[in-house]
Amino acid sequence: MNFELLAQLTITGVVLGSFYALMGMSFGIVYQTSKIFHLANAIPFAAAGFAAVWSAETFHLPMFGAFVVGLLVAVIFGLLILVLGYFPLINRNATLLSLFLVSLGVTVAFPNLLQIVFGTQNKTLQVYGADGTLNRAFETQVYNVGFLTITQLDIIKIIVCWLVVLCVVLFVNKTRFGRSITALRTNPTMAAAVGINSKVVYIVVFAIGSLIAGMGGLFVTTEFVAYPTMALQWTLIGFIAVFFGGIGSLPGTALGGLLLGLVSSWSSVWLGVQFAPVVVFGALFIILLVRPQGLFGKAAA
């Protein structure tokens, strides 16, 4: 085994795994609080990317300004789905299947709407320079450390993703509101008894989840391009990270995501990098067969 290759693959795996962990956080916090299979988490992801590109071009915003707009749009769309799509059904005690079907409808309609409005070409994030011309917003620098290669964006990605994981975990465990999220999740009767408003908790949780999904979309847009169907595979990865890493455990989900990233990166030696989906699917398949609650999840009572 070529040590240099292994080391490089590990770096790639960590970068990938960090992004998986980010997407896992996004879906995880929404799913474990509300139990809704929120496939429509893909919408804030894509919306952020498109909003950033569009606002940079239209309003001559600098890159960070475009990011802010993107994140705002992501949160707004996520909350719209919750309030207009899910709440009416929850009020009627609808089944989780009905909620999923609403999510499905939104998930198929939105990217196609994007395609109608923005066309099918890939959208590069471009900002106006001092000379008034549109240039690509971010050109990543490549660093070579000995035999290893890593890009500037990779480093930023790792830092941001784990910062987000840390923030979310700290928020849930250390803040008063975060504790009310845990309260609602672990003991809904008692939560109602002390007056916790589940709708308010859902709104905050969805806002956080959509914000993080938006960050994911911005990463992909900045590093590559934005395109209508950009969100689904990453949204799915988020789901897999949760079910693989551990339902009901946010740190478990993050670690699960990291593990998935590493495993799929290492496996590219034998399978070729394009077959990474097979590895991820295989890992999920095995875990669900052997330990359905996930690697770090708690067994059902």
Partner 1 sequence: MAYYGQIAINILILLSLSVSLNLLLGYAGRVSMAQSILFGVGAFTAARLVLPKLTDTYNANVSGVGYGMGWPWWAALLGAIVVTFIAALVISLPAVRQVKGEYLILLTLAFQLGGQQVMTVWEAVTGGPFGVAGIPAIKIGSMSFSTVKADSTVRFAILMLIVTVIVIAVCWGIGESPFGRLLKTLREQESVLPSVGKSPIRPELLTFGITAGIAGGIGALFAFSQGAMTPVNFGLDLSILIVSVVVLGGVGNIFGTIVGAIILGGLDPILSNTVGADAIPWRAVIYGGALVVMMMVRPQGLIPEGAFRRFKKGKSTEEMTPAEAMESLSRVSATHEVGSAPALEVYGLKKSFGGLVAVGGASFTIAEGKITALIGPNGAGKTTIFNMITGTFKPDEGTVKLFGEDITGLSVVDIANKGIARSFQDVRICEQMTVLDNVAVAVPKQAGEGLTNLIFRPLKTRKVERATRERALECLALFGISDKANDLVGELSYGDQKLVAIARLLATDADVLLLDEPTSGVDPANVEGVMQGVRRLRDLGRTVCLVEHSVHFVQQLADRAVFLDQGIVLAEGTVDELINQQELADLYFGS
Partner 2 sequence: MNSSDGNLLEVSDVTAGYNKRRVITGVSMNVKPGEIVGVLGHNGAGKTTLLKCIFRMLSIESGDIVFDGASIAKSSSVKTVASGMSFTPSERPIFRDLTVEQNLELGAHSVRDRQAIKDRMGEVMELFPILGERRTQLAGRFSGGQQRQLSVGMALMVQPKLMMLDEPSLGISPTVVTKTFATIRELAAEKGMSVLIVEQNVKAMTTIADRVYVLRHGEMVLEESGDAARERSEWWHLF
Residues binding partner 2 (CB under 8 A)? 176, 179-180, 182-183, 186-187, 189-190, 192-197
Segment lying near partner 1 (by CB under 8 A), choices 9-17, 157-165, 184-192, 238-246: 238-246
Region for residue 272 given its phi and psi (left: phi exceeds 0; alpha: psi -120 to 50; beta: otherwise): left
Q: Is 269 in the site for partner 1 (CB under 8 A)?
A: no
Select from partner 1, partner 2, none the partner in contact with residue 280, using the beta carbon and a kind-dependent cut-off of 5 to 8 Å.
Answer: partner 1
- Site size toward partner 1 (CB under 8 A) is 42
What single-letter amino acid sits at 218? Answer: L
Comparison of 127 and 228: residue with beta carbon closer to partner 1: 228
Q: Of the candidates 45, 110, 219, 227, which one interacts with partner 1 according to CB under 8 A? A: 110
118 Cβ contact list (under 8 Å, min separation 6): 50, 54, 228
CA 61 to chain centre: 25
Segment lying near partner 1 (by CB under 8 A), choices 17-25, 62-70, 106-114, 194-202: 106-114
151 Cβ contact list (under 8 Å, min separation 6): 140, 141, 142, 143
Region for residue 246 given its phi and psi (left: phi exceeds 0; alpha: psi -120 to 50; beta: otherwise): left
234 Cβ contact list (under 8 Å, min separation 6): 19, 23, 42, 45, 216, 220
Select from partner 1, partner 2, none the partner in contact with residue 180, using the beta carbon and a kind-dependent cut-off of 5 to 8 Å.
Answer: partner 2
What are 243's two structure tokens?
């079910």
Select from partner 2, partner 1, none the partner in contact with residue 189, using the beta carbon and a kind-dependent cut-off of 5 to 8 Å.
Answer: partner 2
Residues that bind partner 1 in the complex, under the rule CB under 8 A: 37, 39, 85, 88-89, 94, 96-98, 100-102, 104-113, 115-116, 232-233, 236, 239-240, 243, 272, 274-275, 277-278, 280-281, 284-285, 288-289, 292
